[in-house]
Chains A and B, each alone.
Chain A
Amino acid sequence: MSDPSNSLVLLSRVTKIFGLVRAVLDVDLEVCRGDFLAIFGPNGAGKTTLLRMVSGLTQPTSGSIQFESNDDHSGRDRVGYVSHQSFLYNELTGLENLVFYGRLYGIGKARGRAEEMLVKMGLQDARYQRVGTYSRGMKQRLTLARALLHEPDLLLLDEPYTGLDQHGSRIFTEVLKGLKEEGRTVLLITHNLGAGLELCGQIVIQNKGELVFQASRGQVDASDFERLYFQVVEGGRR
């Protein structure tokens, strides 16, 4: 685990209840700067709800989410969020989408920053094309560019591999590896165990709202992880 004094986000007994459904239950989690944390779990485990609370899209029913040196979790500009929805306007070009979001986030030279991100994501040749004409892989890379425009402290990725073919997944993984090498702090939800293990430094498994397994990547044998995953999910907490 990273140095605890370098803590970026601290979740304390975070719970989210929707009516009779306990989506997230008593989650304690610390995310330190530079962590690349992969969250695995079956459908309905509460992973997306957890990420939405960290992003500020949803408020916890109880518990607290504190960003470093921020008593009030209102630092929406500190988080970048990538979902299986792109948050992009299909009628606008790639460049127009990024310039728009850049201005929303108060980036001074939004166009310059947008051009820079398009080059970084290998989308400079498509910048004047409408996003509606992009392939799924291109959209996901543009979505990642959008999330990184404002240099967030924390990047949240909610099943970003959804809808990507093998080629697109490989390209996306390479992009994420680059972010890891930059020392970005990332929370990644994925059903892709292989890609998640390849990227992450910390592993969390969530099931039925609770965190049932936490370990550093070095403590887990990649060849045995699938067996471990099913054992934890079907057998309960470890």
Chain B
Amino acid sequence: MNQVALIWVLAEKDLKVEYRSPQAFLNTVFFALLILVIFNFAFDPGSQATREATPGILWVALLFPGIIQLNRSFQAEREEGTLYGLILSPTDRGVLFLGKFIANWAFLVVVDFLVLGAFVIFYDFNFSVQMLWVAWIIILASVGFTAVGTVFAAMLSSIRTREVLLPILLFPIIIPIILAAVNGTQEILILEEAQFLDRWLQLLIAFDVIFVAAGFLLFDYVVAD
């Protein structure tokens, strides 16, 4: 079986597992909606200050639930030792990474789009071309976030304090992604002219390529015992 087909076999397995145990999906979506609701209560929804803060609110609601999902993605692999089953197979470890990365990314994108829909409603935006650009930023940012997160989640999966360590290790690495995502979103939603949107998008694409390539090359060392 060629490598591309193997990647799909691995991703399909994870998506099937998630589909059949939707508790994690529901928990993640609920947590994200809770963040949006709390901020909605905390700030005056009609004020300009709140309006200017909405890009940050959106990305808090997108990133923190993502951490929960990444932690869980390898916790399941450790419980019945399925990660060892994957490592024992002759499948290239980089391919194992890509399969897990694609499944995590697909899961996250679905959650993120639901959160974006709720965000539009709660914060009085419109479902317009603007939101298509925001969706595009979400897709790009989630690639890099998921790539790095998958590597770190695998690395920390056998450690008891992984829920604490994952965000501590992950967030410094993905600062460029957060920077580009928040600023790009701000340009679309708040500013009258999106002067630097192209540059933020290029930054996202560049880091996506770097992080996915690094994950592919380093995963062998991450899972080695």
**A89 engages B13 (CB within 8 Å):** yes
Q: List which B25-84 residues lie within 8 A (CB) of chain A.
A: 80-82, 84
**B13 engages A87 (CB within 8 Å):** no
**B1 engages A86 (CB within 8 Å):** no
- Report whether over half of chain B's contact residues are helix, strand or loop; otherwise say mixed: helix
Q: List which B11-27 residues lie within 8 A (CB) of chain A.
A: 13, 16-17, 20-21
> Given the complex of chains A and B, what is the CA–CA distance between A52 and B88 in angstroms?
10
**A105 engages B82 (CB within 8 Å):** no
- Tell which of A37-45, A73-81, A114-122, A212-220 binds the partner: A73-81
**A104 engages B81 (CB within 8 Å):** no
The answer to the question of B128 belonging to the interface, with a C-beta cut-off of 8 Å to chain A, is no
Nearest to B19 among chain A residues (CB) is: A91
Instruction: Choose from B5, B21, B87, B89 the contact partner of A105 (Cβ within 8 Å).
Output: B89
Residues of B within 8 A of A85 (CB): 80-81, 84
Interface extent on A, as a size class? Answer: 20 to 34
> Given the complex of chains A and B, what is the CA–CA distance between A90 and B91 in angstroms?
22
Task: Pick from A55, A77, A81, A87 the residue with the most CB of B within 10 Å.
Answer: A87
A194: min CB distance to chain B, Å: 27
Contact indicator per residue, chain A 133-172, by CB within 8 Å of chain B (1) or not (0): 0000000000000100000000000000000000000000
* A89-B82, A91-B20, A91-B21 known; A76+B225 contact, CB < 8 A: no
Residues of A within 8 A of B164 (CB): none
**B80 engages A87 (CB within 8 Å):** yes
Residues of A within 8 A of B172 (CB): none
Instruction: Choose from B6, B82, B87, B91 the contact partner of A88 (Cβ within 8 Å).
Output: B82
- Tell which of A5-13, A56-64, A202-210 binds the partner: A56-64
A-B contact count (CB 8 A): 69
The answer to the question of A225 belonging to the interface, with a C-beta cut-off of 8 Å to chain B, is no
Instruction: Choose from A57, A77, A100 the contact partner of B9 (Cβ within 8 Å).
Output: A100
Interface extent on B, as a size class? Answer: 20 to 34
> Given the complex of chains A and B, what is the CA–CA distance between A225 and B124 in angstroms?
79
The answer to the question of A35 belonging to the interface, with a C-beta cut-off of 8 Å to chain B, is no
**A76 engages B89 (CB within 8 Å):** yes
Nearest to B95 among chain A residues (CB) is: A104
> Given the complex of chains A and B, what is the CA–CA distance between A115 and B96 in angstroms?
25
Residues of B within 8 A of A55 (CB): 88
**B90 engages A77 (CB within 8 Å):** yes
Nearest to A131 among chain B residues (CB) is: B80
Nearest to A79 among chain B residues (CB) is: B88
**B81 engages A87 (CB within 8 Å):** yes
Contact indicator per residue, chain A 76-113, by CB within 8 Å of chain B (1) or not (0): 11010101011111111000100011011110000000
Residues of B within 8 A of A87 (CB): 80-82, 84-85, 88
> Given the complex of chains A and B, what is the CA–CA distance between A96 and B17 in angstroms?
11
Binding site for B on A (CB under 8 A): 52, 55-59, 76-77, 79, 81, 83, 85-92, 96, 100-101, 103-106, 130, 146
- Known A-B contacts: A59-B224, A86-B81. Give 6 more (CB < 8 A): A56-B88, A57-B88, A77-B89, A79-B88, A81-B88, A104-B91
18 examples of A-B residue contacts, CB within 8 angstroms: A55-B88, A57-B225, A77-B90, A79-B88, A83-B81, A83-B84, A85-B80, A87-B80, A87-B81, A89-B17, A91-B21, A103-B6, A103-B9, A104-B10, A104-B86, A104-B89, A105-B89, A130-B20
Binding site for A on B (CB under 8 A): 1, 5-6, 9-10, 13, 16-17, 20-21, 80-82, 84-91, 224-225
Closest 4 CB pairs of A and B: A85-B81, A87-B85, A91-B20, A104-B89
